[in-house]
Amino acid sequence: MSKVWTALRERAEERTLDNGLRVCYLPKEGFGKTFAILATNFGSVDASFTFEGTRYDTPAGVAHFLEHKMFEDEDGNALQKFARTGASPNAFTSHTMTAYHFSCTERFEENLEILLKFVFTPYFTEENVAKERGIIGQEIGMMDDTPGWQLFCGALEGMYRNHPVRVPIAGSVESIARITPDVLYTCHRAFYSPKNMVLIVCGTADFDEVCRMAAQYSPADAPEIGERHYGERRDAVSELTVTRRMPVSRPQFMLGFKDVPLEAGESRLRRKLLGELAVRILCGDTAPLYAELYEKRLIGRDFDTDYTLIPEGAMALLGGESRDPEAARAAIEGETARLAHEGVEKALFDRMKKAMYGLYLRVLDVPEAYARQEATCLFAGEHYADFAALFDTIAPQDVQAVFARWAQRDRSSMSVVLPQ
């Protein structure tokens, strides 16, 4: 199936293989590199699930642990194989996805074969799992000592009491001690099923050959995905303020607004656009409130905003260094209430919407970023390039409705890291 976005001069070729694997090709003529990403709709929040009639409550950090172990196989290490072909491989685990990818300027099909083989052929032993525990344990220790990461974890803890998003992606030293080869094999079979995965190639490639290789090296047996369990949902935040003390020179804060989950049939991409636009209007780096807080030294140049969707949840996050986090919080919450009541000035709305459209447009020229965004969209049954048409459906009153949700009582929580 081919889809064309004439105004964007973009095209996508998409095919679903017999085993359920979705393959998407985003042609980029004239680009020197080709990027491929193989992703599974399985992240850190998916630790509890029902598969083939059995409920599993796996240790925190299992998705991340699995990502680390996948590069190893019986005849060596996939990273060494990529090194011989000159490709640049990597992988990542988020709250909602695990992905493996590479970029190359030559020998694309050879690199694609390496990627498909190691992701679909797990190899776990007691020895190599025990070795990985030590490596990941050191990584966890480093993250525990990173103020920015602790600030983020505190924000999630403050907003969610039951949802597994509050648990760090890598888990804890205690939780990964309970991860065994059997646990990894179970999660691989449950979530690395072709029906739960997408393969995206962005650059220059033969789409028919990509599909042939994907069919050859992915399993014909594709078990059905079971139910996932995210805990009892609560509208209110868990804690109004979460405070940590660490060796920092200035206080840091992250303010979170807990938003409602996607409704049945609601476009994930449109909600993402709407949430990002709202948080930029509220206090993005060209918003009136940003200039006011910066002038008062309540925020600095490191201040940033984000809007994130998770299964059965969504959130806006704003934060950075501040001489007075409580004053910054009061100002941001006050502006949220004002925008909820008065609405967004049309000139500000139009300016912010145009700027954000430009940011989304630029992603199309960065194959790595484009393919990653496409993976997220494909899992929701959409394409990243659909953003252009969806932008036209967003009006000022839509953004005002977002602020009205955020301004409700008990919908905001602040994480603070203070100097020791």
DSSP 8-state symbol, 221: -
pLDDT at 43: 98
Q: Is the pLDDT of residue 205 over 90?
A: yes
Q: Is the pLDDT of residue 212 over 90?
A: yes
Structure tokens at 335: 């502006």
DSSP 8-state symbol, 255: E
Report the distance separating Cα 160 and Cα 304, nearest Å: 21
Report the distance separating Cα 372 and Cα 368, nearest Å: 6
Question: For the chain, what is the mean pLDDT?
Answer: 96
pLDDT at 78: 94
Asked if residues 230 and 44 have their Cβ atoms less than 8 Å apart, the reply is no
**How sure is the predictor about 222, in pLDDT bands with cuts at 50, 70 and 90?**
confident
Distances (CA, A) of 344 to 88, 246, 352: 45, 38, 11
Which listed residue (10, 13, 67, 374) is catalytic?
A: 67
Q: Is the pLDDT of residue 225 over 90?
A: no
Q: Is the pLDDT of residue 226 over 90?
A: no
Query: What value does the mean pLDDT take over residues 393-419?
Result: 97
pLDDT in tens, 249-276: 999 999 999 999 999 999 999 999 999 9
pLDDT in tens, 59-97: 999 999 999 999 988 888 899 999 999 999 999 999 999
Structure tokens at 207: 């789409």
pLDDT at 76: 80
Asked if residues 319 and 255 have their Cβ atoms less than 8 Å apart, the reply is yes
SS3 258: strand
Domain boundary assignment for the chain: 2-217, 241-419
Least confident of 161-170, 224-233, 396-405: 224-233
Report the distance separating Cα 82 and Cα 109, nearest Å: 12
Q: Is the pLDDT of residue 344 over 90?
A: yes
Beta bridge partners of 37: 101, 200
pLDDT at 112: 98
DSSP 8-state symbol, 219: -
Q: Let me know if the fold of 2-217 is the same as that of 241-419.
A: yes
Q: Is the pLDDT of residue 53 over 90?
A: yes
pLDDT at 276: 98
Residue 43: Cβ-neighbour burial (10 angstroms; 0-12, 13-18, 19+): buried
Report the distance separating Cα 373 and Cα 363, nearest Å: 9
Least confident of 226-230, 309-313, 344-348: 226-230
Q: Say whether 67 is catalytic.
A: yes
Write down the CATH superfamily of domain 2-217: Metalloenzyme, LuxS/M16 peptidase-like (3.30.830.10)
- Please count the other Cβ atoms lying within 10 Å of the Cβ belonging to residue 354: 10
**How sure is the predictor about 340, in pLDDT bands with cuts at 50, 70 and 90?**
very high
* CATH number corresponding to 241-419: 3.30.830.10
Q: Where are the alpha helices (DSSP H) in 311-419?
A: 325-342, 346-363, 367-379, 387-391, 396-406
SS3 315: strand
